[in-house]
Structure formats: structure tokens, C-alpha cells
Amino acid sequence: MTDGAKFRVWWVVALFAATAAGCGGGVAVVEQPQYAPPPQESSSLKTPDQALLKDALQGQSISPVEAANLSDRMLADEIATFQDDKNMARLEILLYKALKTQDKQARPRLLRNLGIIHYHQKQYKRARQELQQANELNPKDARTHFYLARLFAHQSNIYLAQGKKQISQQQAKRADIEMQHARKLEPSNPLYRQNLAETLQQERGK
């Protein structure tokens, strides 16, 4: 048989096999399973603390002190926390719930952290009330003084924009006093060495 004849015979056999497979006969074709990536965790549950927060609101028992500790940890990273509205709302609910217990040990921190949340939510009147209550209960908390300083500095800028220079200066003076308290209580903490004007400028840029 010539090479040309051999090629034609091979081609006919190959064509027949392909036709039979397409009609359900011959060699079965096994489809390769498509790769399915593992389900990703919800963006609102990226850390153990965020998972604990969700569980606490779904019935898991958590003491006021544990709630204060949890909120302290989460609020330590302001950028990550306040960019997630869901977690911020959950944390606010947890703090309100913990405050109902009237736990004297945790109450100053619970109020302070609630004030921090409301400050970042631009609910300045509520933030001021909560931060001042926290300060009355524990005047030696540097973070409370720091946020009071930010609050007074922010209000100073508002009054200045309204042309109320005297009130603006009063608020600026109060902000300076609060920053001095924070620095005195924790002199080695770089957070309290910040320039308030720069801090507020960064907030406006968010």
C-alpha cells in the first residue's frame, strides 16, 4: 500500500471514531471538573475580633469588661474600623447593650469608646456628652482627653469659619488643655504628640 493510500485509510478511521463518539458510541469523553475557588470570608469578618463582635450580638455571652476590651482593640485601628460601616454599627450596639448593665468598672471605657464612634460619625453633640461623662468617671484616661481635644479643636474651626473668633479661641484653648492632659498621662505615646491641626486636616481628607 502506498503512503498516500495509508494516509487516506488512517483519515477515514479517525473520522469514523470521532463521529461515533459524537453520537454517544465509542470512547466516552470525560469532562474535566471546572476549578471552583473556595468561598471567601465576608469582608465584615476579617479578624477574630470582628467575628466575636458578630457572635456577641447574636446571643453569645460577653461581659461589659470584655465588651470594653473588644472595643478598645477594634478602635485602636481607626482606619480599618471606621471604613466598615457594618462593624461600626455593630460595635455601637454592643456598647449600648453593655452600658445597660451599669458595670462601674467598664463604664468609663464604654462611654469613651461610644464617644469615639460618634465623633467619627460626626455626631459631635453626642460624642461630647459621652466623652465628658467618661472623663468625669475616670479623669486619668489619656485617650478620653485626646478625643476631647480633637472635638474642641474641631468646634474651634467651625466657630472660626462662622466669624465667631472669641468662642473659637475658647474652644482652641480647651483643646490645648486636653492635649496637655493626654501627654502628661502618657508622655511616651506618639499618638498624643500629634499636631491637632494636622490631625483634623487628615480627617477632612478621608
- Could you read off the pLDDT of 27-44 as tens digits, one per residue? 333 343 344 444 444 444
- Could you read off the pLDDT of 97-142 as tens digits, one per residue? 999 998 899 999 999 999 999 999 999 999 999 999 999 999 999 9
* Separation between Cα atoms, residue 136 and residue 118, nearest integer Å: 18
Q: Which amino acid is at 190?
A: P
pTM above 0.85, yes or no: no
> What are the grid coordinates assigned to 136, written together?
468625669
Which pLDDT does position 206 carry in this prediction? 53
Which pLDDT does position 36 carry in this prediction? 44
